[in-house]
Amino acid sequence: MGPLITQGIISPEWNPMIAFIIGIGFGFALEQAGFSSSRKMIGIFYGYDMIVVRMFLTAVLTSAIGLLFFNYLGWVDYDLLYVNPTFIWSAIIGGLFVGLGIIMSGFCPGTSFSALSIGKIDAMAFVGGIALGVFFYAETFELLFEKLFKAGNLGNIRIYDTLGISPGLFMFLFIIFGIGLFWFTIFIKKKFSARNLKY
């Protein structure tokens, strides 16, 4: 029963190898879908390309449904999976900073690594920029960010507990939402395809 390494069924020494193999799947899927192109990825924000919603949401729904089923079937202990803690203010403000950076650069960290792997020089510049941002954050952490970083800790909570509904009902609503959004992307793309951008 999973998670295999967390439970000691496989030795933690395997972690780097497994991380590497999963990374290959991640990087391969990103590049194949076209996330290695900043102009393709940014299309979602101007209505001319929908891969971000289509791929991102498909990946989220696939994994969320899959892990819920793994739990029901007893293949994985849902409580041992890492749930990132909810710090409400740092998540919102940090997320807005990331959003600003994405619209300026056309990359998020994951896609930039897939882009630099095929030789995009702008992606290498972006990764350098991230390093500068992390360095700035680290050096001013105590002065500017520490209070905000630690404020509003709600713990390692899950969305269905926050909303007070069952996991199954939440998943059902999430799937309906996803299908609605997929349908919406067809509508939006038709509306904006007249621009006929070349990229």
Partner 1 sequence: MNSNMEAKKYMNPYLAGFILGLALIASFYFSGRGVGASGAVKSTVTTVVNTIAPEHAQDSHFYGKYIKGGKNPMNAWLVFEILGVIFGGLISGALSGRLKFTIEHSPKITAKTRIILAISGGFFVGIGASLGRGCASGAAMSGMAVLSTAGFISFMAIFGGAFLFAYFFRKLWI
Residues of this chain, 15-34, that bind partner 1 according to CB under 8 A:
15-34
* Calpha distance 121→124 (Å, rounded): 5
Please say whether the dihedral angle defined by the alpha carbons of residues 179, 71, 92 and 31, taken in this order, is positive or negative.
negative
Q: What one-character DSSP code corresponds to residue 45? A: G
Q: Report 172-191 residues binding partner 1 (CB under 8 A).
A: none
Q: List the one residue from 8, 11, 13, 46 that touches partner 1 (CB under 8 A).
A: 46
Single residue of 72, 128, 147, 179 touching partner 1 by CB under 8 A: 128
> Could you say whether residue 197 binds partner 1 (CB under 8 A)?
yes
Indicate the residue among 16 and 180 with the shorter CB distance to partner 1. 16
Q: How far is CA 124 from CA 89, 100, 130, 142, in A?
A: 30, 18, 10, 29
Region 58-97 residues binding partner 1, contact defined as CB under 8 A: 58-64, 66-68, 70, 75-76, 78, 80-88, 90-97
The site for partner 1, by CB under 8 A, has a size of 133
Among 74, 194, 195, 196, binds partner 1 (CB under 8 A): 195
Provide the token pair at 127: 């990764």
For residue 169, give the 3-state DSSP assignment. helix
User: Residue 57 CB, nearest distance to partner 1 (Å)?
Assistant: 7
Burial 23-55 (b: 16+ CB within 10 A, else e): eeeebeebbebbbbbbebbbbbeeebbbbbbbb
Quote the least distance from Cβ 161 to partner 1, whole Å.
8
Pick one of 72, 147, 162, 169: the residue that binds partner 1 (CB under 8 A).
162
Query: What x/- string results for residues 104 through 123 when contact with partner 1 is judged by CB under 8 A?
Result: xxxxxxx-xxxxxxxxxxxx
CB 51 within 8 A of CB 35: yes
User: Quick one: 81 or 176, whose CB is closer to partner 1?
Assistant: 81
Q: Which long-range contacts (CB under 8 A, 24 or more apart) does 123-126 make?
A: 123/36, 123/38
